Chain A
Amino acid sequence: MKRSLAIIGIVTILSLLLATCAAPTPQVVEKVVKETVVVEKPVEKIVEKQVVQTQVVEKIVERKVEVTPAITPAPTELSGTLVVGRGGDTVTLDVGPATDGESWRVLCEINEPLIRLAGTSTKPIPWLAERWETADSQTWTFFLRKGVTFHNGNPFNAEVVKWNMDRWRDPDNKFRFGRKFEYYAKEFGKDYAIQDVKVIDEYTVQIKLANPSAVLPNKLSLCGVFSMLDPKEVEKQGDKYGTPAGKPIGTGPFKFVEWVKDDKIVLERNEAWWGGPPRLARLIFRSIPDNSARFAELKAGTVQQADVAQTDLPSAAKDPNLTVNVLPPLSTGYIAFQQCTPPFDKLEVRQAIAHAVNWGALIKPFYGDYGELAGSFQPPTILGHNPDVKPHEYNPTKAKELLAKAGLPNGFETDFWYIPVIRGYFPDSKAIGEAIAADLAKVGIKVNLKTKDWGAYLADRLEGKFPMWMLGWGSDNGDPDNYLGWHFYHPIGQPNKEDCYANDKVAELLIKGRVEADPAKREQYYKEAEQLIHDDVARIPVVWAKGTAVFRNEVKGYVPVVFRSWYENLWISKK
């Protein structure tokens, strides 16, 4: 019995060790899109690339996925295997329940949505839907692409769309197999739920939302969640669908071959893809959890593309065998305040903090070329970004004056929370926090830097327990409703618990932006809201972080884009 007790003890210690071991690991990367960035190319070059890319996108809109002659490979190069190294495995290959970037990344090659976003911009473009119409942002008609088939030969049509949408919106749908469709609940919720899906004819579907929402096309572009599955296949495979024991079927450029958990997912070219067959014969996603090991494999050539940690990017940029592509910024790192409790309830105090810190000096040392000093909250890729909103000027004298005006001539003391994980928007949260603290100390504001376990951090922040904290946001679907709307909307007269920020005028603008169908008017609403948020110092946006895509040089055909992987255009050069 003594031994049994000893074993219980040992196992307890073991599980404790496991639990504590979890804390100091090098990285917790959730989403690839938001990953960090580094590239040593002059800015003009990047701009040049973006122009080229827009052309490619234009072509795709007109002629499906016809590739420009400049990047069309010689016939002998119409093959090759691209192995992608990434930090984690896919969680599920069923589109509805997938919430993580690593699942989306693979799903988006197998399954396709009705709408996608154009390359570098976040403008919705036709995909499985050739066009769509709405008069009031509440009833939408989608005209589907004809002649599209699933990998098993089954046709794609209006019935398929209805079946898929019914599966998303009904929690009791028997083909959900008890899975939670978190992103449907998030994006549509009760207020904007799909109330009705009507099949008008074989290639026309009409859907009705509970309330008008102009964001629908952007929402539907989330290919990892709102892509089309083959109803017959899901019904046949049952609850094996989407797990390693099943075989996901879609209309996408690549077909599923094999999934070995925590090891690899193998896809192969879909010869019958409606956009023309992709050039790569195979596309393999390998999970290589350790950052250094993954980078080593990229250098060794056993993978041709890898997610490279920010710390390895300078070394990657110097490697003659590798190309580091910089992506346009799509995320914001910010400082937030609890504005119901002193001292941050006073505008002057928030302004003082905005002026006391030399924000511009944080960019070079912590982000290199992979971050940009943020002016407005939204980065330039998002509709409604306001270029007239400039970063707060560094002016400690002014900060002191503002503090005196707020009745705190000698400053004050407060807790300042930094995130316990590595994110593209805050790659070294603690060090960035220390730099900010040093600047604040110069005007008499003493901050105590604190952090806690990620789960607890997020929970406490939501409860409004932090007086001042760091966090960030990366766009899900490119729409401002998912950016400004997510952070600053609150029911009129009822501030959110998190930061207690209340400006009914902002809330009204954000609601108008959500409903208005005309993009030009929407843009105006969001620009106005940006200015108000800036004037209120509701948050201090610090950085717009850029993502990277690192390839070995033998991979050809890549153009940096915001939301797309572009695998169907890539090929491996044998030279």
Chain B
Amino acid sequence: MAQYIIRRLFALIPVLIGVSLVVFFLIRMIPGDPVIVMLGERANPQDIERVRREMGLDRPIYIQYIEWMGRVLRGDLGKSILSYTPVMDDLKQRLPGTIEMVVAGLLIGVICGVGIGIISAIKQNSWIDIGSMFAALIGVSMPIYWLALMLIYALAVNRKIFPPSARLDVELTVVRHTGFMLIDTLLMRDLRLFANAVWHLILPSVVLSTTIMPILARLTRSSMLEVMRQDYVRTARAKGLAEQLVIIRHALKNALLPVVTVVGLQLGGLLGGAILTETIFSWPGMGLWTYRAILARDYPIVQAAVLVSATIYVFVNLLVDISYAYLDPRIRYR
């Protein structure tokens, strides 16, 4: 198993090289360059030429790539073209914010999605089943952009139950240790701050969770229904096991295999959804950062952000593969 993990980690290298190549050239193929976007209406040919020279953008792309790669290997992601801050500093600021929201969204999505799926499967064709599957259909076709705004208006503007945005009330300050608001507030031993952070996290993560919840609910339901008809479930029931044990230990564990696969694959959707969610909830995370960098053609940021998401993606898929072995002991990795 350890060997397998090491081998998979080594496989990360060609993946990252491939990704970096694609991103590096792709972002430079999009029309418009940082100089023009930066100067806007004020751009004139002399300035553009001068700034391009100063930024080193007039040199052949492959040389720029080799130089950049050389720096990345030394752990230097470069500096933002616009703000001159080291990309690594920015990354450390934003990554925890996104992870916090994506993990919270993932947890809510998985717990609720799988929970609803199980109940629907057990109570097949009951009003709960029909109702929840109908809701799932609506959920899967609802743009989260719209949902987020509706929730803000309903729960933050008209009724002030939740805050409309941000990670913390504007007058509060947190001493930064990890960048994870929930952890940092706990480290400060201030329950009021922690509660404030949780309170701010709820709306965005619920909205984000709707990108995966309906899919997981439907998938769990169909997968459960299939497993419940298997012989081993009948055997488990026949030997007199309590129904809860049958469902959790025998049915669910087997039904979860495809669900886990989909959770891994849906991570991309979650990261994509995070762009919209972060934008609407003014959440200072990776999504908003990457999105703005693409608009401004801030190449170093876009490259770093894609490298990081690719790495996360590979790691999550590795975790998914490892969890297969736990869920189904017949699966062995060598």
Contact = CB atoms under 8 A, between A and B. Distances in A.
Nearest to B298: A91
Interface string B246-276: 0000000000000000000000100110010
Interface string A133-150: 000000000000000000
A182 B39 contact: yes
A296 B170 contact: no
A8 B18 contact: yes
Contacts of B302: 15
B32 interface: yes
B84 A245 contact: no
Given A7-B314, A7-B317, A12-B22, A18 B167 contact: no
Nearest to B43: A458
Contacts of A453: 30-32
A12 B83 CA distance: 27
A121 to B, nearest CB: 23
A497 interface: yes
Contact of A92 (B43, B83, B173): B83
A18 B280 CA distance: 16
B146 to A, nearest CB: 10
A287 B43 contact: no
A455 B89 contact: no
Given A263-B166, A302-B163, A472-B41, A4 B15 contact: yes
Nearest to B314: A7
Interface string A376-414: 000000000000000000000000000000000000000
A452 B32 CA distance: 10
A345 to B, nearest CB: 21
B182 interface: no
22 contacts: A4-B14, A7-B314, A15-B302, A16-B26, A18-B306, A92-B85, A99-B38, A182-B38, A244-B89, A245-B85, A263-B284, A289-B279, A290-B149, A293-B149, A293-B281, A293-B282, A297-B165, A300-B157, A453-B31, A455-B297, A457-B32, A497-B45
Interface in B1-42: 11, 14-15, 18-19, 22-23, 26-27, 30-33, 36-42
B170 A264 contact: yes
Contacts of B291: 18, 21-22
Contacts of A4: 11, 14-15, 18
Nearest to A459: B36
B309 interface: yes
B234 interface: no
Interface stretch (B48-56, B110-118, B185-193, B322-330): B48-56
Q: Chain A interface secondary structure, helix, strand, loop or mixed?
A: mixed
Interface in B112-166: 148-149, 152-153, 156-157, 160, 163-166
Nearest to A456: B31
A262 B37 CA distance: 20
B153 A296 contact: yes
Nearest to B269: A14
Given A454-B32, A458-B32, 11 more contacts: A1-B11, A12-B26, A260-B284, A261-B94, A264-B170, A293-B282, A296-B156, A453-B31, A453-B32, A459-B48, A497-B45
B58 interface: no
A88 B36 contact: no
A565 interface: no
Interface in B36-89: 36-45, 47-48, 50-51, 54, 82-85, 89
State which size class the interface on B falls in.
35 or more
A561 to B, nearest CB: 23
B185 to A, nearest CB: 14
Nearest to B45: A462
B37 A243 contact: no
Contacts of B313: 7, 10-11
Contact of B50 (A185, A242, A244, A455): A185
Given A91-B82, A455-B297, A293 B288 contact: no
B36 A458 contact: yes
B40 A286 contact: no
A338 B41 CA distance: 17
Q: Name which of B19, B42, B310 has the most chain A CB atoms within 10 A of its CB.
A: B42
Q: Name which of B11, B170, B302 has the most chain A CB atoms within 10 A of its CB.
A: B170
Interface residues of A, number: 75
A18 B82 contact: no
A66 to B, nearest CB: 30
Interface in A284-302: 284, 286-290, 292-293, 296-297, 299-300, 302
B84 A299 contact: no
B149 to A, nearest CB: 5
A321 B148 CA distance: 24
A446 interface: no
A477 to B, nearest CB: 12
Contact of A97 (B84, B156, B171, B314): B84
Contacts of A1: 11
A87 B26 CA distance: 27
A186 B268 contact: no
B53 to A, nearest CB: 11
A19 interface: yes
Nearest to B284: A262
B280 to A, nearest CB: 5
A289 B22 contact: no
Contacts of A284: 170
B44 A289 contact: no
Contact of B280 (A180, A186, A290): A290
A3 interface: yes
- The 10 A-B residue pairs whose C-beta atoms are closest, nearest first, are A455-B32, A456-B31, A262-B284, A263-B284, A300-B157, A288-B282, A243-B85, A8-B18, A91-B83, A290-B280
Contact of B149 (A83, A292, A474): A292
Contacts of B84: 92, 94, 97, 177-179, 239, 242-243
Contacts of A293: 148-149, 152, 164-165, 280-282
A451 interface: no
B286 to A, nearest CB: 10
A25 B292 CA distance: 11
Q: Name which of A18, A260, A300, A472 has the most chain B CB atoms within 10 A of its CB.
A: A18
A130 interface: no
